[in-house]
Homo-oligomer: A and B are copies of this chain.
Amino acid sequence: MAENEEVILLDFWASMFGMRVRIGLAEKGISYDHRQEDLLENKSQLLLEMNPIHKKIPVLIHNGKPICESSIILEYIDETWNDKAPLLPSDAYAKARARFWAGFITNKLDQAGRKVYRTKGEEHEKSRQEFMECLKLLEGELGDKPFFGGENFGYLDVSFIPFYSWFQAYETYGNLNIELECPKLIAWAKRCIQNKESVSNIFPDSSKVFAFVQLLRKKLGIDD
């Protein structure tokens, strides 16, 4: 990394999408100015300026230029700091496949997961089933490989592992036992944390995430 480079990350500690970027930057050995946003109460002027369309974190600001959307940021990181730890596979088909599953996580898995702790009744019942179906499909994609990227931790691993820090919340509010149904996924998640400092160093404590979800449910009026 050149000395005159300025890298700022607008983030929120419990965000899976923010964690993706933190892991990507750690894989590349990039230091950055890490700024926490107050998403519930008061977004910063910088966030509103840098991501005027979606007003969401994470935003990576590299030498003054904003890059938004975690999947796009990961691709940018991989291309910009390409001297070490390649994230995306080099093969075009493997790359398309990794992008497909990362998109599946960003859309289907995350949407079902949100509903697990944000809804009640029929919608909740449907979402907990959908969430588990998504996890089973991901378990199938992992198969017997040590990482989604094969022998090496890569783009799809980075895209998915942050969700593991929310598993306690999904399990509690969805009445799920993920390890029982997806043992390979849990083994993979533990492998990521044990083997990759880029993950373990940024990973929030599950109980802290759980406390945040408890607070969120109160704010949303789901719990008293």
Contacts and interface: CB of A to CB of B under 8 A. Distances in A.
A79 interface: yes
A100 B67 CA distance: 8
Given A79-B92, A79-B95, A80-B92, A100 B69 contact: yes
A93 to B, nearest CB: 6
A75 interface: yes
A79 B96 CA distance: 10
Contacts of A79: 92, 95
Contact of A93 (B53, B76, B104): B76
Contact of A96 (B67, B92, B95, B137): B67
Contact of A103 (B72, B76, B80, B96): B72
A65 interface: yes
Interface in A35-94: 53, 62, 65, 67-69, 72-73, 75-76, 79-80, 92-93
Nearest to A90: B79
A69 B62 CA distance: 29
B92 A53 contact: no
A118 interface: no
Given A72-B100, A103-B72, A65 B93 contact: yes
A133 to B, nearest CB: 10
Contacts of A103: 69, 72
A128 to B, nearest CB: 19
A217 interface: no
A137 B76 contact: no
A55 to B, nearest CB: 13
A69 B99 CA distance: 10
Interface in A189-210: none
A99 to B, nearest CB: 5
26 contacts: A53-B104, A53-B137, A62-B93, A65-B93, A67-B93, A67-B96, A67-B100, A68-B100, A69-B99, A69-B100, A69-B103, A72-B96, A72-B99, A72-B100, A72-B103, A73-B96, A75-B95, A75-B96, A75-B99, A76-B92, A76-B93, A76-B95, A76-B96, A79-B92, A79-B95, A80-B92
